[in-house]
Amino acid sequence: MAEDWAAVAAEVTEALAEVGGTAAIIRMETTGGYDPTLTPVEYPCTLFQDMLDMTKVKGTLIEATDRREYIAASNLEIVPTTADKLLLAGKEYTIKSVQPLQPDPNGPVIMYEVIFVG
């Protein structure tokens, strides 16, 4: 029987909401026609903080002070990128890495592993 990955993604979102918290991804978007300006737009997200495995840090661009959050995908309106910022507890953080967790290549992304400057 095929797994219902959309249902799994919804369950992950619920679980992260129970044990995690909320934040926002800030994306700079162009507004205005003739004289466009960049405007920060906040996209709410549900996330869970996890510790980085320091054995995987050596030889990478990840530093000991960096942090990792898992962000639920099913209720997120955008796909986070390293051009975005993470707004967490009133402070903006620079995103260094975004990895989608997608068990089935033909199914939805379940969550994103986001590493950011702590």
Query: Residue 99's pLDDT band (boundaries 50, 70, 90)?
Result: very high
Query: Residue 4's pLDDT band (boundaries 50, 70, 90)?
Result: confident
Task: Domain count for the chain, please give it.
Answer: 1
pLDDT > 90 in the chain, percent: 50
**pLDDT (tens digit, 9 = 90+) per residue, 80-95?**
999 999 999 999 999 9
Q: Could you tell me which residue, 33 or 108, shows the higher pLDDT?
A: 108
pLDDT reported for residue 101: 94
CATH number of the domain that residue 101 is part of: 2.40.10
Q: Domain range holding 33?
A: 5-116
**pLDDT (tens digit, 9 = 90+) per residue, 26-70?**
999 998 778 889 999 999 999 988 876 666 665 666 777 788 899
Distance of CA 66 to the CA centre of its chain: 14
pLDDT reported for residue 70: 93
